[in-house]
Structure formats: C-alpha cells, structure tokens
Structure 1
Amino acid sequence: MIMEGFGTYGTTPGGRRQVGVQGYDVPEGVEIRGRYDGEFARILTREAVQFVAELQREFRNRIRYALECRKEAKRRYNDGALPGFDPATKYIREGDWVCAAVPPAVADRKVEITGPVERKMIINALNSGAKVFMADFEDALSPSWENLMRGQVNLKDAVNGTISFHDKARNRVYKLNDQTAKLFVRPRGWHLPEAHILVDGEPLTGCLMDFGFYFFHNYEAFRRIQGGGFGPFFYLPKMEHSREAKIWNCIFEKAEKMAGIERGSIRATVLIETLPAAFQMDEILHELRDHSVGLNCGRWDYIFSYVKTFQAHPDRLLPDRVLVGMTQHFMKSYSDRLIWTCHRRGVHAMGGMAAQIPIKDDPAANEAALDLVKKDKQREVRAGHDGTWAAHPGLIPACLEVFNNNMGNSPNQIQTAKREEAANLTEEDLLQRPRGVRTMEGLRLNTRVGIQYLAAWLTGSGSVPLYNLMEDAATAEISRVQNWQWLRYGVELDGDGLGVRVSKELFFRVVEEEMARVEREVGKARFNKGMFKEAGKMFTRQCTAPTLDDFLTLDVYNNIVVHYPKFASSRL
C-alpha cells in the first residue's frame, strides 16, 4: 500500500523547494530518497526494487573486493610496476575455446550510434539507420535522479514501441520508424554509487540499478520484438580485470534464472577502455563466453586510463590529446590485439568513436571533418573491425558506406579477418611510450573543454557539443588527467610555449584567460546563469590536487544528488 495524503519535500540545486504527495512502495531494508513521480513509480515497483535489492545483497561484497583489487593494482603501478599478461592465466590465452555463437539479430553491427537515454535522442538514434543504438547511462549521461529514472521510462517505452516526443518549439512529433536499430544499454561502471537508493543503509551500486530495472521491465518484450529470442543486449564499461567480468556473468545468470529464460540469453560487449584490461582480453571473454558478443575499443577512456595507470611515471607523459590517435604504436597494438582476440574466440571486434558532429555553417570545414571520419573508418575496417561507433546521426551514412564497400554483403569479419600477426604483439608493444609535442594550446584546450563539460554535467547534460566534437566524460577525463600530469612534473612546453614549464602559476593564469574566452563564446548572460564558475573551481582543484582522483564524476557526484525525506519511500 502506498502512503498518500502527506507532503514530501526536497531542494533542487537552485534552492527551490519541491513538494510531492506520494511515496514509493518498497520492500524491507530499501529506502528511496529520490523525488516521487508517477512515471518513475512505473519503474520502481515493489517487485522490481526487490530484484535490484537482491542483486545488491548478493554481489556487493564481490564488487567491494574487486574495487579493493583495483586500489592494490594502483599501488603497485605507483611503486613502479607495469601492467602485463598474467602467467597464471596463460592456459586461457593459449586455449582453443570459443564464445557462444553470435545471435543472428546482432550479427551485423557495422555502425553503432551512441548517446544518452534522453527521449528525443533515443527516437532519433533508433531511426538513424545505424545497425545498433547504445543507450548510455554512463559517460554520456549526467546521473541525476531525474535523468536516470526518465531514462528507464524512455527505454521501457522504446522497447514496447510506444515512445514518442513532442518538440513544442518546432511543433514536431517524433516517433519510431518501422525499421529501427537494435538496442544495447550501457550501465554505469562499478565505481559509481546511486545515492538516491539505499539498500540496508548503503548506496546501491549504480550499474546494478541501471541493469536491474531495465532488465526486469523489458527482457520479455525485448526478446520478442528486437532480440530474435535473445537479449537484452548490453555494453559493459570500465573493467580492469576478468574478476569483474565474472561478477557480471553471475549477475546475468541470476537474472536469467529469475526470468525463466535460457542461460546465455543475455549478451554483452565489453569495452576495453582501461590499460590493465588490454592484458585481460582473453580472460574477460572466457568469463563471459556464454554471454559475450565481443569487445570494443573504447579509445578515449583508454587514453585516460594510460595516464591514470602511469600517474607516478614521469617518463610516460602524453603529448597533446589531439596527437594521441590510433596511429600511435601503443594504440594500434591495442586495436590489433583486440581484433585478433575477438575473432579467434568467434565474436565481434568493435571499433572506436567518431566524435565529429556536422558543421552546419562551414561546408568546407564540414567536408574536411567528414573526410577524416571516412579515413578513420577505412583504417578500422581494413584492420579487421566488424563495426564502429558514431556520435551523431549525420555520420551514419558515411560510416556505413565505408564498411559496406569493404565488407560487401558479409555481416561481419569474424571468420575472414584473423590478423594472426597480432599474436606476436608483446607487452612492450602495448606499453610503448606515445610520441608528440606538448603545447600551450594543448593546455588551453584541455582547460576550456574540461570546464565547459563539467559545467554542463552539473546542470544535467552528459553529452556536450564543443568545437565541432561531441564531448563526454571520457574526453573530459583526458583533459583533466593530462593537465594534472603536466602540472605534477612541470612539463616543458613546445611550440608557442617553447621553454615554458607548466606550473600552478601558469595554470591559474590559463584558467582565468580560458574562463574569459568561454564567457565570450557562450555569452555573458548564459555564463552567469550556468555553472561555469563553479565548474572552473572544481576543475582547477582536481588538476592541482596532490593526489589524482580516480574519476572526475565520482568526485563531483554529490553536487547533483538531491535527497528527499526518508519517509517518502515508506510503507504502511
């Protein structure tokens, strides 16, 4: 029975008091401290909350242990150790095993579009002509209560085919086409808590919330409508070790048992976006072999992870972020190793993100940007990737053309692109130091992008168009950790800053000047109304901190948490 007839109160980030009149019906030991909403109550049913709470109780100790293992690995790297292949699992790397066959519904993944779980975005992405849409609860979403819960409502409507959106400004209604992309969902990483739901007095693990509610409400309809008897399908982020893949495998098995569906129905692609995970590709696939549909080159987070892993190694400083592309030897080696590993195990090897967005007011610049995208996609498909990512619907036709021209009628290259030479790639290949200059403009761009992204994230936007690129948390992380690294080691700049060393005094001046530039670019009214000043302070603090924070978003997460009274989720 739901409590009614009383007020529940909360405060928005702007200080405005909000009032509700109902609470959620929840099982024993669970508190929901997010705002009550009738649509959210469709997701937060007693049975769904019970399922998610059971996941939390069963797996929280294993998740906690996995995160402790990450800390121990960081201590080793900070003491001078390097990531490498684990001798204890050599038998897995050298074994002849394969993963379960790829489901026919997702055999063709030539182009995948990604974006947050916003209503209009979901419709446009599913209608984009891409083979797959990855709906993102992670790097492309600011994880406010409103965004997360509306995302669950939106996905439920999308799976059922009832989703629509009325754009009042354009007086246009958006609906799904008859043919749509296949839907994958990316939950948050292990490290992010969900502070609005407490289980036994502790915050729920964010990814269990994202996975649990989506699976509970959608598995049956998804398998019937989109999955051809399989699914739902997921992307799994931020792993550093196969023990984390094993936890996910057990979660999938528990969910399948609860739902009464066949083992191996749920399928997932793992993003290899941390440097330690590059040495665990076989082991990760082995743990998920009945639930796997491949690996993905999450290259932006991978660059971020390279700096984080080597934060105590002054001999491994990155050049300007725009120079750390897939032609760098350590990046090419990572891509080649991923392709070889996936195809040897019978699953997809997915390429990286094309972050460009159309430049509407400059046809020449737009054509040049599109040409860069095509060249990057040609590199990927010729290397053996089975598909690629794009951040904007406008890139889909060009990307699809490149893959179709190179692959013909084949849905993938699993059987044809083996890249056997990648079997000989060594630890040194995967760890080779990147090359290139470090410039004042690189420092300025990092600062400008990092502050603007954080300002948007604090106000609810996790996917932000900046300077003709779609920025998300991964690219903002590169900006942050690179600034931190250059400051920590007093990097001597090249180019216009030749001979100048990066110091706190220099950085504070750069922040001040770039804040002024941002104000000019966005306009004074928007600048003062937004969170730019607060973001500038937070970003500066993180870049100058004596110890590098593991994640930008984890450090500032409490700034978007809005708690409502405990009794808002009580039962009579």
Structure 2
Amino acid sequence: MSSPIPGVTILGPLKGAQNEILSKETLHFLATLQRAFNPTRKALLQRRVLRQQELDRGQLPDFLPETAFIRNDDVWKAAKPAPGLQDRRVEITGPVDRKMVINALNCGAATYMADFEDSNAPTWENNLSGQVNLRDAICGTISFTNPGNNKKYELRKDGKLATLIVRPRGWHLEEKHILVDNEPCSGSIFDFALYFFHNAKKLVEIGWGPYFYLPKMESHLEARLWNDIFNLSQDMLNIPRGTIRGTVLIETILAAFEMDEIIYELRDHSSGLNCGRWDYIFSMIKKFRQNPKFVLPDRADVSMTVPFMDAYVRLLIKTCHRRGVHAMGGMAAQIPIKNDVQANDAAITKVRNDKLREVQAGHDGTWVAHPDLVKVALEVFNEHMPQPNQLFVRREDVQVSALDLLNINFKGAITEKGIRSNIDVGLVYMESWLRGVGCVPIHHLMEDAATAEISRSQLWQWAKHGARTAEGKTVTAQMLLGYLDEEVERLRKQLGNKYAQTKYDTAKRYFATQITGQEYADFLTSLLYDEITVNAQKAKM
C-alpha cells in the first residue's frame, strides 16, 4: 500500500494502534534515517564479505595497528552511567509480546532487554505489536488478559519496574515490509527509529532514557554507524546528544579485537559491553569454518572456562572498567524444571555457579532468561557485589594476546549424542521460528537463534572436515542427513495428526542445506526470513 511519504511503500497490513506506530511523522523520520545511513550499512556488509574471504584463505585476525593510539591512551573515558543504568546487576531478556513485557518489567530485575532480535521471529505482526507494547508500557497503560483463564496482567504499582533497554535487529537483517525508494528498509534502522521516535521524550520525562543493546557487530566502523544514527536522531527530535545509550554485545570474534575502538566510537553514548556468549561461539565456528585447526567439540564441552572464552571475558572486563563502563555477563539459559526436584536443583546450582564465576571475575551484572531466576542471580551478586557495580575492579593483571583469543586447545569430544542434539535443537528451533515464535524452551533451556546457529554450524564444520566421533565414526553429509530424516520421522510419529499443522517439513528442507559442509548461509534468520514475510505468504496463495 502507498504511504503519505513519497518514496515509502508499506507492504504489510496495519490494524488498530499499528497505524499510530507507522504515522506520517514516523515514516518521515524512518525514511530520513534510511536514506542517510543505508548506503553505509550496505558498504559495511560488503566489508564483512571481503574480511571473510581473507579468513577463508587462512589469515588470522589481530589487534588493528591503525587504532593502537586508541587502545594505548589511558586518559579517555566513556560517558558516565545514565539514569536507571547505574545498577544493572541482573538483567532479564526476552521477546516483546505483551505478557512478556509486563512480566519482565515487574520481575525485580534491574533492567529488561526487550528483544526484536534473536528471541523474536521478525514477522510483521510481531514487530509492530512489539512496538505498540513497548509504547504502552512506557506510558503506563499496558495490560493483558489471558484468553485461556482470564488472568489479568498489569504493571506493578510500587514503581519498582526494570529499566527498559531495547535490542534492534543486527545490521545484516532487512525489514522487507517497508520499502524506501524501492529498497527494503534496514531492520536495525526500522526497529530503532520506531522505538526512538515514539518513546524517547517520554522516557526522559519518566527518568530513564532511550537505551539500546546493539547486536552482531564485527568492527568499530559498525559502531561508528550507530553513533552517527544516534546523533542525527537526537538532533531531529531536539534531544540533547548523549541522551541515548548503547550497550554493545561482543558476540563476534572479530569484534573482540576491537573492544576499545567500539567503546571509543560510541563513547558519548556508551553504556558498556556484554559477553554474548552463545553467538560468540557461533562466530568462532562460522568465521573459521574453512580452517581445520578450528574444529570445536560438542557444544556441551565449550564452557566459559575454555581458553578462548576465558580470554574473551577477561579482556572485556578489563577494557570496560578501564573506560568507566559496565562489563555485563552472559545469559543463564536454564529455566525452572517442574515436577522434578532433583533436576531443578541441579539447574539452579548451575546458574549459581555461573553467576558466581561472573561476579568474581569482575562483571557488573548478568543475564537471565526466566523471571524465577532473577532472585537466584540477585542473591549471588548481592553477596559478592553489595554496591551498584564494580567499575573499580580494573583487572590490570590481565594481559590477553591475539593468540589467547584464538586458543582452542582444550579437552572435548565430538559424540553421536552431540550430533543428534544439534540436529534436534536446530530443527525444533527453526520450526518454531517459522511459526513466528523466536524464544523456545528446549530440554529445559530457553533457546534463541544463537543456539540454532551453533547447532547447524557445528554440523557443517564436522561434515566439511570429516571429523571423527568419540565412537570412531567419520562425520559425513550422508550421516547427518540420515540422522535428520530419523529425527523428523520420530517427530511425525510422536505428533500424529498434529504433525500436519507444524512447519517441520519446511524447517527440514532448509536445515538439510546447512549441514553438508557445502552451502552455508550467513545467518539462519536471513535464510528463513522470506518464509515469514506477508508477501511470501500471499505468493503461496
């Protein structure tokens, strides 16, 4: 459908409050940002392609000589913590459906990362409804009634709500339901622009600010692009520069070599870095997938204490505290296990140990995926970090080299159990995502896109290099496709008539292309995205 802004086309339907979210003024703001910055975004994505070609030829990353002056300068600092972000000891993350938004803001966590990225399947409906939900939450008018039991959800009245932080999509994703000058809109710019335009002034009024988590970056130049967007956006709405804050997820191996530079580019808008652990493992496999020296064992063996993960954590904490910003820990994906006390106790113990490791290492806060784990994480951080943060823990003892960040020398095995688990998790997650659900409980863990990415990337890597399992078998494409057939057949028998209502056949078709050691999509979300666009659905009718 046409829009009131020349050059802007809306390809998805609008209903109710969604029309307000895509008002004429909003579309003008969005189009201005898209026209100003999308060419740079596309150039940076092409730069990723060229960098990958270098890695495929065997070149290894290193700290950049041209930015050594930034790393070596002890004087510069980033912005002081913004209102509502001084104490971030426990952050809860999750998608932007209405019930989740209310529960997350109410749960007692310091902040809530409302996610348009890895835990959100970016259907047109999910994205627009999510924006409506966040606007209503900020205005204090949000409520939800469960149609199944008529239970009503509202924001708590005591004012003790989590500070809201929004994660837009990564630079690689597009929003194909909006065309600007006949080009799909950047998903990052779309998510940011709608949220900022509708909520920035109200957020400042209530004592917070427009705060963001910035995902999937691979260089400081990509952080510079975000900073440019922040500056223009604040100028257009007459909001002082520096009001926006962005926490960058260090979840790619290349970004780990540019932590100082990333903070420097965002320094007036920086609120620190986060250890995006699962995507970081995915990146390690993905970037070096052609190199047989970087074959990793089962996901279960790649813990936070293996050399390359430990080095990454130590460097992140040191870098953040040196620059005066928060160093946030990673996700505890465990969820409560009902009707099995022993298994639940074991899961809670894992969470406690993980959070103890983080706070003792010097992290200023951590992530959980379930409201019931907020209390567990809080207890650990309150005991070992009674003050709002530990920016004073400088970690000057830490010296991390390029080789440390690339050190995969640790014990681990590739097992048939690990192979079948990757097939199971990857398939189940992709099927759910295709149905529009991006946050999925699988085997008592709350999984998002990062888990599926690890699963298919490991399978691809093992098939590519003919890895040997602990049982003495050589991993081949034929083996993996056979296991995939078996898993789908098992699900078909298990679900019976309900199988026809699922997306498993579609998920299998895409998954099969990604595990043979040949074709490799840059991201599963990009590979699958056309399946959930309104246009694709119309084309199938």
Unaligned runs of 5+ in 2: none
What SS does structure 2 have at the residue aligned with 1:359? coil
Kindly state the Cα deviation for residue 24 of structure 1 after the two structures are TM-superposed: 6.6
**Pairs within 5 Å for 1:476-495:** 476-494=452-470
Kindly state the Cα deviation for residue 421 of structure 1 after the two structures are TM-superposed: 1.8
| Residue in 1 that maps onto 2:254 | 276
CA deviation vs aligned residue, 1:197-242 (integer Å, no higher than 9, x gap): 0000000000100000000000111111141xxx200000000000
1:348 aligns with 2:326: yes
Distance 1:78 1:102 in 2: 40
1:412 aligns with 2:385: no
1:124 aligns with 2:103: yes
Distance 2:536 2:437 in 1: 22
Distance 1:247 1:38 in 2: 33
Distance 2:460 2:491 in 1: 21
| Aligned counterpart for 1:295 among listed residues 249, 273, 296 | 273
8 A contact 2:2–2:8 mirrored in 1: no
CA deviation vs aligned residue, 1:391-432 (integer Å, no higher than 9, x gap): 000100000000000011x100002x111122x211111000
| Residue in 2 that maps onto 1:511 | 484
| Residue in 1 that maps onto 2:419 | 443
| Residue in 1 that maps onto 2:86 | 107
Distance 2:142 2:486 in 1: 45
| Aligned counterpart for 2:362 among listed residues 367, 379, 384 | 384
| Aligned counterpart for 1:473 among listed residues 440, 449, 473 | 449
Kindly state the Cα deviation for residue 434 of structure 1 after the two structures are TM-superposed: 4.7
| Residue in 2 that maps onto 1:531 | 503
Distance 1:78 1:401 in 2: 45
8 A contact 1:33–1:565 mirrored in 2: no
Q: Which amino acid aligns with 1:460?
A: G
What SS does structure 1 have at the residue aligned with 2:388? coil
Unaligned runs of 5+ in 1: 1-22, 567-572
What SS does structure 1 have at the residue aligned with 2:514? helix
TM-score (norm 1): 0.92
Structure 1 pair 565–313 and aligned structure 2 pair: CA distance change class (3 A):
closer
Corresponding pairs, count? 534
Residue identity over aligned pairs, in percent, reads: 51
| Residue in 2 that maps onto 1:401 | 379
What SS does structure 2 have at the residue aligned with 1:162? coil
What SS does structure 2 have at the residue aligned with 1:421? coil
| Residue in 2 that maps onto 1:215 | 196
1:313 aligns with 2:291: yes
1:197 aligns with 2:178: yes
Q: Which amino acid aligns with 2:433?
A: W
| Residue in 2 that maps onto 1:13 | none
Kindly state the Cα deviation for residue 565 of structure 1 after the two structures are TM-superposed: 13
Structure having greater relative contact order (Cα 8 Å, sep ≥ 6): 1
Kindly state the Cα deviation for residue 545 of structure 1 after the two structures are TM-superposed: 5.7
Distance 1:288 1:395 in 2: 31
TM-score (norm 2): 0.97
Distance 1:235 1:532 in 2: 32
CA deviation vs aligned residue, 1:153-202 (integer Å, no higher than 9, x gap): 10100111110000021211100013210000000000001110000000
8 A contact 2:477–2:515 mirrored in 1: no
Distance 1:526 1:118 in 2: 25
Worse-superposed segment, 538-547 or 347-356: 538-547
| Residue in 1 that maps onto 2:518 | 546
Distance 1:56 1:135 in 2: 23
Distance 1:225 1:515 in 2: 50
CA deviation vs aligned residue, 1:419-451 (integer Å, no higher than 9, x gap): 1122x2111110001531010111100000000
8 A contact 2:476–2:516 mirrored in 1: no
Q: Which amino acid aligns with 1:515?
A: V
Structure 1 pair 341–149 and aligned structure 2 pair: CA distance change class (3 A):
same
| Residue in 1 that maps onto 2:400 | 425
| Residue in 1 that maps onto 2:118 | 139
Distance 1:67 1:563 in 2: 25
Q: Which amino acid aligns with 1:540?
A: A
8 A contact 1:34–1:564 mirrored in 2: no
